[in-house]
Amino acid sequence: MTILPVIPTSLDQPDAVATKRRPSMPPRHLADLDLAARQAAVKSLGEPAFRAKQISTHYFGRLVRDVDAMTDLPAASRARLTDDLLPTLLTPVRELACDDGATRKTLWRLHDGSLVESVLMGYPDRVTACVSSQAGCGMACPFCATGQQGLTRNLSIAEIVDQVVYLAGVAASGAVTGAPPRLSRVVFMGMGEPLANYPRVIEAVRRLTTPAPEGLGLSQRHITVSTVGLVPAIHRLTAEDLNVTLALSLHAPDDDLRDELVPVNQRWKVAEVLDAAFDYAARTGRRISIEYALIRDVNDQPWRADLLGKLLRGKLAHVNLIPLNPTPGSKWDASPKPVEREFVRRLREAGVSTTVRDTRGREIDGACGQLAAGELTEASAGGAAADAEVAQ
Ligand code: SAH
């Protein structure tokens, strides 16, 4: 049996598919709105319009998410403003740290019980947040833990933005060992297929990159959107006025194998998806990142390295090889190091810039839905962790 992906028929697809847990979109939050809409919202509560700027400065400028800590707001207004503009969207279920505190992973419960994950990664010169764009994922890639769960629902704009604002607050507290206190990069490489939640992801990017107090003021160039290769959505992204980095999860240079590893390839073939990605690179001037999880004896043969090199030679592209992080019960494993080295050597020989991604957070199930998958298994066994915990 072939597992088929859920291919969106429209980029503005409905928010949820039916599951037992009745997923539903969260209440509205200020991060869903631009500044003008926030001003209209506070006015409709009978508050002066400047309150919108006040709470926006707290939230985006000072990374304060709790209205009670916004002491310049009249106490009488706080409950009203919380209910209307600052509902709790994300409740931490687990927080785990590893790599001596340089990697921190958070598992969140959303208002409808859905679980999503974010990861914070510190480096000497930067701090990167890896965020989720959907609860679950409909793309069904067989090596990915999230792909095994299916899609629960799209995240709202604010559910995406709030992950980043929370993690920026963690970074600002100095909790990320050996890294600067300012979060500077965001990668959409957590749970979900960002381009299947297109309008919200784009709005979230705008919110993250608009200067404070309207947004978080990150650089567009420091945001990476990763996709399985939804070709019409890549074209649409190319037409946006955004300078984000596009990552394409290729994982195989030939249609036979990619049809299996990234089932959406059954709809949009390697040549077509690469053309769309090259077009993005040409229009934005930004090098695309080709993601390739090296899987032992599956996609790591020298001839596949050569074919990939041929496809990418002379293009504005960089290959990011990811040692496979095996999901529990998976038949697949990472490639042996000598095989990985040979794969890199052949790509470089073909003139293609190539690096091997570091494997941050392995011991905390850092890859792609593994923490949520573990939690779902525990929950169905009746042993879900109810309280937040920080394992150091
Ligand atoms: N849906 C998007 C973004 C989420 S996953 C996409 O597919 O691009 C981010 C990256 O991690 C993708 O390249 C994905 O293929 C890869 N990935 C997923 N599971 C993995 C695993 N078990 N080991 C290594 N990489 C994995």
The total number of residues written for the chain in this structure: 392
Cα separation, 180 vs 198, whole angstroms: 31
Which residues have a Cβ under 8 Å from the Cβ of 308 and sit 6 or more positions away? 250, 253, 290, 292, 319, 347, 352
H or E segment at 224? strand 223-227
Q: Which residue puts its alpha carbon closest to atom 7 of ligand 1?
A: 228
Residue 276 Cα to chain centre, angstroms: 21
8 A C-beta contact, residue 188 and residue 31: no
Which residues have a Cβ under 8 Å from the Cβ of 118 and sit 6 or more positions away? 105, 106, 108, 129, 130, 131, 132, 163, 166, 167, 190
- Among 116-130, 269-283, 320-334, 351-365, the range scoring the smallest mean pLDDT is 351-365
Nearest one of 182, 152, 190 to 367, comparing CA atoms: 190
Query: What are the tokens at 82?
Result: 């919380």
The CA distances from residue 281 to 116, 194, 287, in Å, are 30, 18, 6
Q: Which numbered atom of ligand 1 lies nearest the CA of 251?
A: 15
Mean pLDDT across the chain, nearest whole number? Answer: 88
Q: Which residues line ligand 1 (CB under 6 A)?
A: 139, 141, 143-144, 189, 193, 226-228, 249, 291, 293, 322, 324-325, 327, 367-368
pLDDT digits (tens, 9 = 90+) for 102-111: 899 999 999 9
Query: Average pLDDT of 209-213?
Result: 97
* 184 labeled part of a ligand binding site: no
Distance 36 CA to ligand 1 centre (A): 37
Query: Average pLDDT of 312-318?
Result: 98
CA dihedral 277, 279, 280, 284 (to 10 degrees): 150
Neighbours of 241 (CB within 10 A): 7
pLDDT digits (tens, 9 = 90+) for 81-97: 888 999 999 999 999 98
Cα separation, 190 vs 208, whole angstroms: 16
Q: Which numbered atom of ligand 1 lies nearest the CA of 370?
A: 22
Q: Which residue puts its alpha carbon closest to atom 4 of ligand 1?
A: 189
The predicted pLDDT at position 361 comes to 66
3-class DSSP state of 303: helix
Query: Average pLDDT of 265-276?
Result: 98
CA dihedral 362, 110, 215, 185 (to 10 degrees): 10
* 137 labeled part of a ligand binding site: yes
